[in-house]
Amino acid sequence: MTTEATIIDQCHRLAKAVAPELGPFYIFGSVPPDVPRPEHSTGWANARQTCPLLKRFLLERGEWRGPAAQIVLDLERSDLEPLALFCHELAHCLPSATVADVETSDRAIQIATGWQELAARVSYETLTEFESHGDCTPWAGDHGDRFLRVLLHVVDRAYRAGFSFPLCEIAAGARYGLSAISAYSRALGDEPERLRNLTFAEIETVPAPEEFRALWTADMARYLGSSI
Ligand SMILES: [Zn+2]
């Protein structure tokens, strides 16, 4: 197998180990042709709605199996450990949800291409502002406390399943105006171990540990206070 195929195989095995409830999903180890590459990011996930450009690519290759989450990893350009990057994108897809389908008419492709070209050119901060309708905190593009908690559970389960990769730079930290991911990991404490048999939907019904919530509140207050 090629390196890319090996990594994709590992990603599928990792996802099955940490979130068996997720079911089938698509992984791209490179950005397909005709899909504009974001300058600010080397990975993204379409967790709730199918991307027409990726759907068309899959249809043309006879690999379309119906709507499901799509994870794109730009492995050639990423300087992150591939499995760490994948865990970040996988966390965006949890708890698992129904994925809406789309049409791939010429018009739908044209609109999707226009949006993707725009998203590819602007900075992460600008994109966040667009997507969050004016709330331009760096974590607003679905990188807040809920995401961090899911991600830390994903990583803990991956480590338990025998996968090995560094945690650094995977989320939180200066880029998102937050404390380091290691601080969130400490604040979450032994929760990943205690809740290791729950689905991600079930985890969301359990309040996060007090220390975790306190760190998030303090980070928000510090960021919002310093940006006024
Ligand atoms: Zn993300």
For ligand 1, the distance from its centroid to the CA atom of residue 84, given in whole angstroms, is: 12
Residue 134 has pLDDT above 70, yes or no: no
- Place 79 in a pLDDT band, splitting at 50, 70 and 90: confident
140 lies in some domain: no
Find all residues with CB under 8 Å of 24, minimum gap 6, and list them.
Answer: 65, 68
For ligand 1, the distance from its centroid to the CA atom of residue 3, given in whole angstroms, is: 24
Instruction: Tell me the CA distances in angstroms from 87 to 115, 157, 202, one per residue in order.
Output: 25, 10, 19
Choose one of 65, 100, 131: the last residue of a domain.
131
For ligand 1, the distance from its centroid to the CA atom of residue 43, given in whole angstroms, is: 8
| Partners of residue 43 on adjacent β-strands | 73
The answer to whether residues 28 and 109 belong to one domain is: yes
- Place 130 in a pLDDT band, splitting at 50, 70 and 90: low
The answer to whether residues 67 and 117 belong to one domain is: yes
Choose one of 79, 107, 131: the last residue of a domain.
131
Query: pTM of the full predicted structure?
Result: 0.92
| CB-based contact 43:89 (threshold 8 Å) | yes
What is the length of the chain? 228
Find all residues with CB under 8 Å of 53, minimum gap 6, and list them.
Answer: 32, 34, 35, 109, 112, 113, 116
8-24 residue pLDDT tens? 999 999 999 999 999 89
The answer to whether residues 198 and 150 belong to one domain is: yes
124 lies in some domain: yes
For ligand 1, the distance from its centroid to the CA atom of residue 58, given in whole angstroms, is: 23
Average pLDDT over residues 112-131: 78
Residue 103 has pLDDT above 80, yes or no: yes
Model pLDDT, residue 133: 64
Residue 71 has pLDDT above 70, yes or no: yes
For ligand 1, the distance from its centroid to the CA atom of residue 78, given in whole angstroms, is: 14
For ligand 1, the distance from its centroid to the CA atom of residue 74, given in whole angstroms, is: 13
Q: How far apart are CA 95 and CA 31, in angstroms?
A: 25
For ligand 1, the distance from its centroid to the CA atom of residue 88, given in whole angstroms, is: 6
For ligand 1, the distance from its centroid to the CA atom of residue 42, given in whole angstroms, is: 10
| Domains: count for the chain | 2
Model pLDDT, residue 135: 65
Q: Which of 87, 48, 103, 38 is nearest to 70 (CA)?
A: 48
Residue 54 lies in domain:
3-131
CATH number, domain at 120? Answer: 3.30.2010
The answer to whether residues 56 and 159 belong to one domain is: no
